[in-house]
Structure 1
């Protein structure tokens, strides 16, 4: 199974980052991709190896060595993304716990993942037109124009073959071995994808969301839409979901290992840091207000406690870096 592409229309990238915001910029197959560090003063280290072919296919391996990281993004409707994650602890992905035995396939849908331990993610992004042309998709009804997502658990052999061949393809491209865009390893990855699609109608079952994971997932969605509004807090989450504060508290502590208040504050602090790092013209006060902090002194205190430096130090450090580059 192969897809034809111009021999010279191929690009390999490798990047390492010690900042979650910079790391997020390395995944260009996502829309509005954001990473949030959810643990105070956690050392972040991430790496991305990616091979893009003719604007139709992107093969990606992502690793993060940091504890407790959240990713929020959107998969474009004109692409189909296949994700397989591996971690010492199960990863919460769109309300379900997944690991190496589960493949998530989606298009036109929000993507929300929380990893509480270091993680490796193997990803294959294919334009929807190329996907429909290459694979048999009888089990996926109406995917041409509608958003969809599937959680599929194929055979163990398929899981192993997908991992080995995707990694081998990236290693060979990086080393300059086999310059053709579609190597034998990538062709085998495509064969694995077809096996995964064929497993759609199998009896293997991905555990549905529990009540607590559902509460956390919907709370995160709600808060992501209101991060700039300082008046939105824990009680608003309770009212929105029609649950008690105790139920919300227990759900967050069970699923994320933190209180709802700490989650809300950490996301707001990450939002402010992203604003400071992405725009040289952004003021500290403006970033604080846009992230839902009206009290500048309190914001600076929380920021230093969480990131280990004052907002002014972040701005100064980035200014020095830009002047030298």
Structure 2
């Protein structure tokens, strides 16, 4: 673009004409070399991020999460910084002090910044994405999840309130997420065919229940119910679930039709876990338990993906590896028994 066809507005005023002239000459050089887009000189991250978020088709829960991450972790540092001034060194320095002790949230916030600036790069506003901190957008679980044994699962089920027993067992044996199981309604359960129809989930990012379809197409799925759970589930539907196809299986209170929140479930679940000697187990740990048991039963990666609602084989492979590790423990224990018998 010829120089006469655009104008450059300085981000600040200058003390002398010489300073202004030097700044303008530098910007023209950078623009001429294709290193800076004139728009990026005056567009702040806050302005661009707001436009970026407004222009995205997102699930309600995802939009809520991004809005929260922007306001709490990104805007305080970057809102007034112009896109052209966000450098790799600045990003690295910011990341070094970001959310200490909260590695998962830290990774997600960094990934959001990287995504937004990646779009700015594709929009030709910046020459390159300045988010270059190796591995910053991913995290490793601090402690591996230890699946519940069958005896522990039985003990937890026996100790939890009666109306929550099917919820615990469906979470484990059907490998459901908390938001999936607490949004199950009478119409989603086909006891005759032995199938759960997972079509929605509930999140609590705003402090109130937000119901939406699964994030991915794979999340919308039919899950076969284990035959030995069907009699208990039929009893639960008869004794604890209100009439009507929209009645929740596990409401906040019986007779209501408000979803059970993680906060309200915490007390009865903690009590049951303590009674079973597994205070460390989370509800997601129950899902992990079901996935590992399914893998141990011989389920293929594709079958695990379908049952758990995964879009990639990565997580399914983790469950298969966990099942293989557990099989090695069992083999070693059996070998010890054999050796002891010969002694």
Shorter-chain TM range is under 0.3
Greater strand percent: which structure? Answer: 1
Which has the greater radius of gyration? 2
TM-score (norm 2): 0.25
TM-score (norm 1): 0.26
Greater helix percent: which structure? Answer: 2
